[in-house]
């Protein structure tokens, strides 16, 4: 007669732990801990996480490179990360000299990580990218993945962060365990959702626990993966975060030289010989890399529809100015006209 199996308990997991491979034990235990926390079994979830913390991490023999498998996240991890294989390179990006040199150093150290470790040194792997939106932080993660021949593992924060106490920390544990199993560039975009300063006026205890868990996992991580955290809101980050990263790379809006390089790269298939750069670049002031790129696309569309390969100064300048008028700091032209009308009526 078939009998329904009894639910697992912390004691039964302690008995079975010796029979399991470390990677299988950690993955299964963390998934059950997350499920238990969600269903209110907080004591069982705590026991399982304690077992995972005490279990030895599986490490590959020193000096033996591990192959990067075709990544298809399975189980609960499939809802936490998405994998891709970008072909982007640092040379494809328009960067300041400081940012370019910092990224080149990360790539160089990663490629020679065995040499560094032979001398008791560690390569830069944990990066914090800060700066205005649209300035290339997310693209940087793709470029690092392309340069290092690694998959880009995009961490889905909307599924990582939940309302159930302890569940987010358990899911974070799964992600950091995956770093040891599968080498990759793990991107935490909009990182301020996790790294907000402790003690803020709107802070609750669970936010502090999530941040504390992230700090602990980051500090303990000794994998061969690259961890990239990116945020537009550096002022919200907890000060304790900065010293846990190997490097903090600061992005800024492009200057005139960078803006021209962006335009020339984006419109390389068109004739730009007649462009008055001084007049055109005046419209790019204050725009991000992404906004300049979008303006270039609009100028390209206008030229294609006019059946010409030539980009006129007026076309490019108007596209840039239109994009700048959409910027939050400027407001759209329509909104400015409404505001002017209200001011006159007053």
Q: What are phi and psi of 217, to 5 degrees?
A: -65, -40
Residue 145 in any domain: the answer is yes
Is residue 120's pLDDT more than 80? yes
| Same domain for 215 and 260 | no
| Same domain for 146 and 193 | yes
| Same domain for 237 and 133 | yes
Among residues 211, 235, 250, the one where a domain terminates is: 250
| Same domain for 275 and 169 | no
Number of domain units in the chain:
3
Q: Which residues of 130-160 are buried (b: 16+ CB within 10 A; e: fewer)?
A: bbebbbbbbbbbbbbbbbbebbbbbbeeeeb
Residue 67 in any domain: the answer is no
Average pLDDT on 62-84 reads 62
Q: Which band of pLDDT confidence, cut at 50, 70 and 90, is reported for residue 19?
A: very low
| Same domain for 308 and 246 | no
Q: What share of the chain is helix, strand, coil (3-state, %, to 5)?
A: 55, 10, 35
State which of 39-43, 177-181, 326-330 shows the largest mean pLDDT: 177-181
Among residues 250, 276, 304, the one where a domain terminates is: 250
Residue 189 in any domain: the answer is yes
Among residues 217, 250, 283, the one where a domain terminates is: 250
Report pLDDT digits (tens) over 291-311: 999 999 999 999 999 999 999
User: What is the per-residue pLDDT for 335?
Assistant: 43
Instruction: Confirm if 309 and 303 have CB atoms less than 8 A apart.
Output: yes
Which of the pair, 169 or 59, is modelled with greater confidence?
Answer: 169
Residue 2 in any domain: the answer is no
CATH of the domain at 337: 1.10.8.60
Nearest to 172 by CA among 34, 25, 36, 32: 34
226-231 β-sheet, strand order: 81-84, 152-155, 185-188, 226-231, 126-130, 247-250
| Same domain for 231 and 87 | yes
Residue 28 in any domain: the answer is yes
| Same domain for 229 and 84 | yes
Q: Which band of pLDDT confidence, cut at 50, 70 and 90, is reported for residue 21?
A: very low
Helix H, strand E, coil C: the string for 44-56 is HHHHHHHHHHHCC
Is residue 284's pLDDT more than 70? yes
Nearest to 217 by CA among 179, 190, 163: 179
User: What is the per-residue pLDDT for 77?
Assistant: 73
| Same domain for 124 and 43 | no
169 alpha carbon, distance to own chain's centre: 18
CATH of the domain at 109: 3.40.50.300
Average pLDDT on 337-342 reads 45
Is residue 206's pLDDT more than 70? no
Cα 94 from Cα 80, distance rounded (Å): 31
| Same domain for 238 and 106 | yes
Instruction: Confirm if 54 and 25 have CB atoms less than 8 A apart.
Output: no
Which residues on adjacent β-strands are paired with residue 126?
227
Report pLDDT digits (tens) over 92-106: 999 999 999 999 999
Cα 345 from Cα 340, distance rounded (Å): 9
Instruction: Confirm if 174 and 31 have CB atoms less than 8 A apart.
Output: yes
Residue 316 in any domain: the answer is yes
Is residue 59's pLDDT more than 70? no
Six token digits for residue 112: 């020679």
Residue 6 in any domain: the answer is no
User: What is the per-residue pLDDT for 329?
Assistant: 60
Which of the pair, 116 or 13, is modelled with greater confidence?
Answer: 116
Which residues on adjacent β-strands are paired with residue 292?
none
Domain that holds residue 171: 75-250
| Same domain for 198 and 95 | yes
Report pLDDT digits (tens) over 210-253: 888 888 899 999 999 999 999 988 887 878 788 889 999 999 99
| Same domain for 186 and 241 | yes
Residue 59 in any domain: the answer is no
Six token digits for residue 271: 């004739």
Is residue 141's pLDDT more than 80? yes
Report pLDDT digits (tens) over 253-283: 999 999 999 999 999 999 999 999 999 999 9
| Same domain for 260 and 341 | yes
Determine how β-strand 81-84 pairs with β-strand 152-155: antiparallel
H-run or E-run covering 259: helix 256-266
């Amino acid at each position: 007669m078939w009998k329904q199996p009894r639910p697992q308990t912390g004691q039964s997991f302690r008995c079975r732990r010796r029979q399991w491979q470390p990677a299988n034990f950690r993955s299964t235990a963390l998934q059950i801990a997350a499920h238990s926390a969600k269903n209110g079994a907080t004591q069982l979830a705590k026991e399982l996480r304690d077992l995972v913390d005490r279990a030895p991490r599986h490490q590959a023999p020193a000096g033996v490179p591990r192959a990067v498998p075709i990544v298809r996240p399975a189980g609960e991890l499939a809802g936490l990360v998405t994998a891709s294989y970008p072909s982007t390179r640092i040379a494809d990006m328009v960067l300041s000299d400081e940012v370019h040199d910092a990224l080149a150093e990360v790539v160089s150290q990663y490629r020679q990580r065995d040499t560094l470790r032979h001398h008791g040194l560690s390569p830069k792997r944990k990066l914090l990218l800060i700066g205005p939106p649209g300035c290339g932080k997310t693209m940087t993660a793709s470029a690092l993945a392309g340069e290092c021949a690694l998959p880009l593992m995009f961490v889905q924060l909307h599924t990582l962060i939940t309302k159930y106490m302890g569940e987010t920390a358990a899911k974070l544990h799964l992600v950091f365990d995956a770093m040891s199993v599968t080498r990759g560039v793990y991107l935490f975009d909009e990182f301020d959702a996790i790294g907000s300063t402790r003690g803020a006026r709107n802070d609750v205890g669970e936010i502090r626990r999530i941040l504390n868990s992230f700090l602990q996992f980051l500090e303990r991580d000794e994998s061969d993966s690259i961890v990239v955290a990116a945020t537009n809101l550096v002022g919200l980050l907890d000060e304790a975060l900065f010293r846990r990263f190997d490097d903090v790379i600061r992005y800024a809006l492009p200057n005139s030289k960078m803006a021209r390089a962006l335009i020339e790269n984006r419109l390389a298939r068109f004739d730009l010989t007649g462009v008055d750069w001084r007049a055109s670049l005046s419209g790019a002031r204050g725009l991000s890399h992404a906004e300049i790129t979008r303006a270039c696309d609009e100028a390209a569309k206008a030229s294609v529809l006019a059946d010409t390969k030539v980009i006129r100064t007026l076309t490019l300048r108007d596209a840039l100015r239109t994009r700048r008028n959409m910027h939050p700091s400027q407001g759209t032209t329509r909104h400015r006209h409404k505001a002017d009308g209200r001011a006159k009526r007053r």
